[in-house]
Amino acid sequence: MRIEQLQADSRYLKEIVELWNQNAIETVGYELTDGEMAGIEQQVVQYCRSEYGVVHIALDDDDQLVGYGLASMKKEMVHETYSGHVDELYVAPVYRKQKAGQAIFHSLKSWLLAQEVSHIQVFVDVENESAQAFWEKTGFEKEFFVMSEEEEE
């Protein structure tokens, strides 16, 4: 397995969107619409083109997509520093428990540290216990509660 930085014109864009949809189905039981998938593809391209974001992918020995990770950095309001954020990380179920998620994360972390971020954060759904266990195993600690309000439709 190897990790690569995704380019905006990559042949893997559609596969990433398919995995993103699989992630949505797995975590919240929701299948993305064609419009939502097109929007996600645009977002991934924006990460690839931005100096403040990056997309790393894991490929197996046959160049099949194993998983992906998105990271970004944001300027802190008070200090003249940047915080790093792992915005998405997903590994296809067939490749789990093979250290692919760890490899993607460490690649993203290397990129963020090269950008001299002051710290790295990740937001995890309160009900996603497997993701919480993964991040705790990786060395992250629970630090904040994020409270949200859903808009009525």
CATH number of the 2-137 domain: 3.40.630.30
| pLDDT per residue as tens digits for the range 35-89 | 999 999 999 999 999 999 999 999 999 999 999 999 999 998 888 899 999 999 9
pLDDT at 20: 97
Assign 127 a pLDDT band (cuts: 50, 70, 90): confident
| pLDDT per residue as tens digits for the range 80-122 | 899 999 999 999 999 999 999 999 999 999 999 999 999 999 9
pLDDT at 78: 83
Sign of CA dihedral 42, 54, 58, 122: negative
pLDDT at 96: 93
Residue spans per domain, the chain = 2-137
